Amino acid sequence: MKTLDQVDGALLELLQKDARLSNKELAARVGLAPSSCLARIQRLKAEGVLRGAHAEVDPAALGIGLQALIAVQLRQHSRAQVKAFWKHVLALPEVLAVHHVAGAADFQVHVAVRDAHHLRDLALDAFTTRPEVAHIQTSLIFEWVRKPGLPNYRG
């Protein structure tokens, strides 16, 4: 992977803010001809720097009434248990994100559910009953924000 220059950084920043910008618009913003801009973006994709783009949707519109963070402690920390739990939890439709962490808990799982009833069922059926799970602690999410884009420590 070649190192990124200022223009690459600017392109990535723009696309992280709005992935639907046209190539022409992008080119104008960074001061490049559309053809050159396109070449850059194709290179970034080929190198794996640009991994894709995802639309952001209003959770309420999809019937999601509440979200929670579930901190999970496993009984053992064997590779097999970690892998099994990881795979299981990723397959659940309610799960938005999974973090495997070092700390008080082993996993932090972000889930989106219809309502409190749904959350209880999920916690009981998909977490507590799992053999590798020792203990869980559920935290209701009042509000959350994800900043679009990563910080750039190169440019």
Partner DNA sequence: GGAACCACCGAATCCTGTTCGATTTGATGC
Partner DNA sequence: GCATCAAATCGAACAGGATTCGGTGGTTCC
Choose the contact partner of 69 out of DNA, its own copies, none; CB within 5 to 8 A by kind.
its own copies
Choose the contact partner of 151 out of its own copies, DNA, none; CB within 5 to 8 A by kind.
its own copies
String of contacts with its own copies for each residue 32-51, x by CB under 8 A: ---------------xxxxx
Q: Which of 123, 147, 146 is nearest to 135 (CA)?
A: 123
Provide the minimum distance between the beta carbon of 136 and DNA in the complex, in angstroms, as a whole number.
43
Cα distance between residue 142 and residue 69, in whole Å? 11
Q: Which two tokens stand for residue 97?
A: 């994100």
Q: Which range in 28-36, 52-60, 73-81, 127-135 contacts its own copies by CB under 8 A?
A: 52-60
Cα distance between residue 64 and residue 69, in whole Å? 15
Choose the contact partner of 55 out of its own copies, DNA, none; CB within 5 to 8 A by kind.
its own copies
Q: If binding is defined by CB under 8 A, does position 80 make contact with its own copies?
A: no
CB 30 within 8 A of CB 44: no
CB 36 within 8 A of CB 56: no
Burial of 136 (0-12, 13-18, 19+ CB in 10 A): middle
Site size for its own copies (CB under 8 A): 64
Choose the contact partner of 39 out of DNA, its own copies, none; CB within 5 to 8 A by kind.
DNA
Provide the minimum distance between the beta carbon of 28 and its own copies in the complex, in angstroms, as a whole number.
18
**Contact positions toward DNA, by CB under 7 A?**
2, 7, 22-25, 31-36, 38-40
Q: Which of 94, 69, 103, 98 is nearest to 83 (CA)?
A: 98
Provide the minimum distance between the beta carbon of 49 and DNA in the complex, in angstroms, as a whole number.
13
Residue 87 phi/psi, 5-degree rounding, is: -65, -45
